[in-house]
Amino acid sequence: MRRLFPVYIFLFFLLTAGAVRVEAQCSICTRTAQQLGERPARALNKGIIYLAFAPLAICGFVGYRWWKHNQAD
């Protein structure tokens, strides 16, 4: 069960990604997106989320490994 926990978490976020509307824009990006129109604004938002995923995933992985290492002590 413990080995499958990360898989369950990944599937949870994968399956709920389409159901939840996420706004990842600062005030400047929001103003720019409003001027662009609906489709480019959605593309801009998806691009921001895509670029934010890698650093957050790396930090999460490092934090998880740190936590597991401290659990072993």
Residue 13 amino acid letter:
F
**11 is a domain residue:** no
**35 is a domain residue:** yes
What pLDDT does 12 receive? 73
**Torsion angle of C-alpha atoms 42, 31, 51, 9, degrees rounded to 10:** -60
Tokens of 2: 């413990």
Mean pLDDT by 10 residues, the chain (73 residues): 76 64 67 82 82 89 90 72
Residue 36 phi, psi (nearest 5) = -75, -35
What pLDDT does 59 receive? 92
Q: Which domain holds residue 61?
A: 23-72
What pLDDT does 39 receive? 87
What pLDDT does 31 receive? 78
Total structural domains in the chain?
A: 1
**61 is a domain residue:** yes
